[in-house]
Amino acid sequence: MAPSGPTMDTVKIALEMAVRAPSIHNTQPWRWRIRDRAIELWADPKRQLVSSDPRQGKLVVSCGAVLHHLRVALAVVGWSADVTQLPDPAEPDHLATIELAPHQPTQADIELGAAVLQRHTDRRGYRSWEIPAGHLRTISTRAAKFGAVVRHVPDGLRRRLVQPFHDAVTRHAADLDYQLELAEWSGGHRTEDGVPGSNVPRPHQCDQIPARVFAGADLIDDLTEPDAAEWLVVCTPHDDRSSQLRAGETTSALLLEATRLGLSSCLQTEPLGLPELREDIRSQVLYDCAFPQTMIRIGWVPTDSAPLPATPRRPIEDMIDVDPLAATTFGR
């Protein structure tokens, strides 16, 4: 019987693009199962950050990001994705089933596919150039169609982020379990996952909103002009697994749209891992109307900035299980 879907090589090309998605501490906490007529996305609880993500919220958001990246990658190689989220209540780690249909790539598909390849987390300071209001509206509108809400945090409200971030840094500095977990997932010893020190700037004492202190920070950031970064919060009216998955897709769409517009970006979510501080942000920034799931800083980097080293990724073979029957649907 002739296969009715893409070749297995095409599926793997799409998955290799998809797994470029950002994840908490670059843990890449997902697995793929290739089944007859479908691709399944599963959470990988073995890659959970037990100390900083005990409820797996960040893990599921990360999986939502890779799900959206897969939508984009499939569209580029000529297939649309019909996604069913959380298809089996008895299997909460089975986050999505993706069924494929032929699709003619559009110019927008190709631009987003290019953004997948270009995007990277840039933790350095950004330039003093303001981001046009139209860019912020475009990013928010196009990202929000995936089911979460994107809120811009203007200057007046941004001051309310300062204390939760400082409190998070202080609490984590005194938390041995957190420090051990962070050391395990960052620094120069990571080759397939985690956050290399070469991608992390040394801490700046003058930073109003401090960044997470990863191990082995070794990136030189000598930009001295004022930082005109803007902050966006991805939030949801509920805080269940489905909401977190939608927030991850929305976050991915936001990051790719920002990249398409030439902006750099960085997720900064440290206080969201501490329930009291997350509640502070929910009440003081979102006025108790939604649950913050991710926070993203976006801005312009100098055009002559040195390119950042590539962040490592696991081999795709390490995260795929293929059902033998899939060969009847996905050709060789």
The pLDDT of residue 1: 42
Distance CA 220, CA 175 (A): 27
* Strands of the 79-85 sheet, one edge to the other: 79-85, 94-102, 38-43, 30-35, 320-322
pLDDT values of the chain reduced to their tens digit, one per residue, 332 residues: 456 789 999 999 999 999 999 999 999 999 999 998 899 999 999 999 999 999 999 999 999 999 999 999 999 999 999 999 999 999 999 999 999 999 999 999 999 999 999 999 999 999 999 999 999 999 999 999 999 999 999 999 999 999 999 999 999 999 999 999 999 999 877 789 999 998 988 876 557 899 998 988 888 787 778 889 999 999 999 999 999 999 999 999 999 999 999 999 999 999 999 999 999 999 999 999 999 999 999 999 988 888 888 899 999 999 999 988 776 667 66
In the prediction, which pLDDT does 236 show?
Answer: 98
pTM over 0.85: yes
pLDDT at position 332 is 60
> Which domains, from first to last, does the chain contain?
8-119+314-328 (3.40.109.10), 133-299 (3.40.109.10)
pLDDT at 206: 57
Structure tokens at 317: 């073979």
Per DSSP, the residues of 176-221 read HHHHHHHHHHBSTT-SSSSB-GGGSBPPPTT-SSPPP--TT--B--
How far apart, in Å, are the Cα atoms of 95 and each of 42, 50, 55, 88? Answer: 5, 19, 15, 8
Q: Which residues, other chains included, contact 306 with Cβ-Cβ below 8 Å and sequence gap of 6+?
A: none
Q: Residue 328: what pLDDT? A: 64
pLDDT at 331: 62
Q: How far is residue 188's CA from residue 11's CA, in Å, rounded to a whole number?
A: 32
Contact yes or no for 324/267 (Cβ under 8 A): no
Measure the CA–CA gap between 104 and 141, rounded to whole angstroms.
24
